[in-house]
Amino acid sequence: MRASDYVASFLVAQGVRCVFEVIGGMITHLVDSCHRQNGLKVVSVHHEQAAAFAADGFGRITGIPGVALATSGPGAINLLTGVGSSYFDSSPAVFITGQVNRNEQKGDRAIRQLGFQEADIVTMAQPITKAAWKVEKPEELPQLLEAAFKLAISGRPGPVLLDIPMDVQRAEIQTFGPEKKVSTDCGTPIDPVAITELLNALNSASRPLILAGGGVRSAQAVDLFREFVGAVNIPVVTSLLGLDVLPYNHPLRAGFIGSYGNRWANLAVGSSDLLLVLGSRLDIRQTGSDTEAFKKDRLIFHVDCEAGEMNNRIRGCTAIRSHLYPFLVEAICLSKQRHFPAKHTWAAEIDKLRIQWPDILENKDRPGINPNRLMHELSEASTRAAAFVTDVGQHQMWAAQSLDLQGNQRFLTSGGMGAMGFGLPAAVGTAMANPGTPVVVIAGDGGFQLNIQELQTVVRNNIPLKIVVINNQCHGMVRQFQQSYFDERYHSTYWGYSAPSFARLAHAYGIESLTVESQASIASALDLMWADPSRPFLLEVMVDTLTNVYPKIAFGHPFTEMEPFAKPIAMEGT
Ligand SMILES: Cc1ncc(C[n+]2csc(CCOP(=O)(O)OP(=O)(O)O)c2C)c(N)n1
Show the DSSP H helices in 156-262 as ranges.
166-169, 192-204, 215-218, 222-232
Mean pLDDT of 349-376: 94
Ligand 1 centroid – CA 262 distance (Å) = 21
Kindly report which listed range (51-65, 101-115, 557-571) carries the lowest average pLDDT score.
Answer: 557-571
Domain final residue pick, 356, 387, 421: 356
**Confidence check: pLDDT of 185 > 90:** no
The reply to whether ligand 1 has any atom less than 6 angstroms from the CB of 445 is yes
Sorting pLDDT into bands at 50, 70 and 90, what band is 572?
Answer: very low
Sorting pLDDT into bands at 50, 70 and 90, what band is 365?
Answer: confident
Domain final residue pick, 305, 330, 356: 356
Tell which one of 53, 83, 392, 495 to mutate to probe ligand 1, the residue whose CB is within 8 A of the most ligand atoms.
392
Ligand 1 centroid – CA 382 distance (Å) = 25
For residues 328 and 224, is the Cβ–Cβ distance under 8 A? yes
**Confidence check: pLDDT of 255 > 60:** yes
Sorting pLDDT into bands at 50, 70 and 90, what band is 548?
Answer: very high
Residues 144 and 215 in one domain: no
Residues 327 and 472 in one domain: no
Q: 75 Cβ partners below 8 Å, 6+ apart?
A: 22, 24, 26, 27, 48, 97, 98, 117
- Asked if residue 82 belongs to a domain, the reply is yes
- Asked if residue 557 belongs to a domain, the reply is no
Q: How many Cβ atoms from other residues are within 10 Å of residue 571's Cβ?
A: 9
Show the CA angle centred on residue 305, arms to residues 387 and 246, nearest 5°.
30
**Confidence check: pLDDT of 381 > 90:** yes
Residues 323 and 197 in one domain: yes
Sorting pLDDT into bands at 50, 70 and 90, what band is 176?
Answer: confident
**Confidence check: pLDDT of 128 > 90:** yes
Kindly report which listed range (128-132, 473-477, 558-562) carries the lowest average pLDDT score.
Answer: 558-562
Q: Please tell me the distance from the alpha carbon of residue 268 to that of residue 275, in angstroms, as a whole number.
A: 11
Residues 412 and 527 in one domain: yes
Residues 256 and 404 in one domain: no
- Asked if residue 177 belongs to a domain, the reply is no
CATH number at residue 300: 3.40.50.1220
pLDDT of residue 309: 95
For residues 463 and 385, is the Cβ–Cβ distance under 8 A? no
- Asked if residue 187 belongs to a domain, the reply is no
Ligand 1 centroid – CA 283 distance (Å) = 20
Residues 459 and 317 in one domain: no
Residues 370 and 291 in one domain: no
Residues 165 and 230 in one domain: no
The reply to whether ligand 1 has any atom less than 6 angstroms from the CB of 479 is no
Residues 436 and 528 in one domain: yes
Residue ranges making up the domain that contains 351: 192-356
DSSP per residue over 305-334, as a string? S-GGGTTSSS-S-EEEE--HHHHHHHHHHH
- Asked if residue 186 belongs to a domain, the reply is no
Q: What is the pTM of this model?
A: 0.97
The reply to whether ligand 1 has any atom less than 6 angstroms from the CB of 476 is yes
**Confidence check: pLDDT of 569 > 60:** no
**79 φ, ψ to 5°?**
-70, -25
CATH number at residue 63: 3.40.50.970
- Asked if residue 349 belongs to a domain, the reply is yes
- pLDDT of 430-472, one tens digit each? 999 989 999 999 999 999 999 999 999 999 999 999 999 999 9
The 10 Å CB-count burial string (b at 16+, else e) for 418-454 is: bbbbbbbbbbbbbbbbbeeebbbbbbbbbbbbbbbeb
Ligand 1 centroid – CA 391 distance (Å) = 8
The reply to whether ligand 1 has any atom less than 6 angstroms from the CB of 323 is no
Sorting pLDDT into bands at 50, 70 and 90, what band is 195?
Answer: very high
Q: Please tell me the distance from the alpha carbon of residue 227 to that of residue 222, in angstroms, as a whole number.
A: 9
**Domains: count for the chain:** 3
- Asked if residue 433 belongs to a domain, the reply is yes
Residues 114 and 197 in one domain: no
Residues 154 and 207 in one domain: no
Mean pLDDT of 505-533: 98
The reply to whether ligand 1 has any atom less than 6 angstroms from the CB of 477 is yes
Tell which one of 85, 401, 420, 550 to mutate to probe ligand 1, the residue whose CB is within 8 A of the most ligand atoms.
420
Sorting pLDDT into bands at 50, 70 and 90, what band is 571?
Answer: very low
Sorting pLDDT into bands at 50, 70 and 90, what band is 180?
Answer: confident
Domain final residue pick, 292, 322, 356: 356
**Confidence check: pLDDT of 172 > 80:** yes
Residues 218 and 338 in one domain: yes
Tell which one of 474, 475, 502, 552 to mutate to probe ligand 1, the residue whose CB is within 8 A of the most ligand atoms.
475
Q: What is the mean pLDDT of the chain?
A: 95
Instruction: Give the total residue count for the chain.
Output: 574
- Asked if residue 216 belongs to a domain, the reply is yes
Question: Percent of the chain having pLDDT more than 90?
Answer: 92
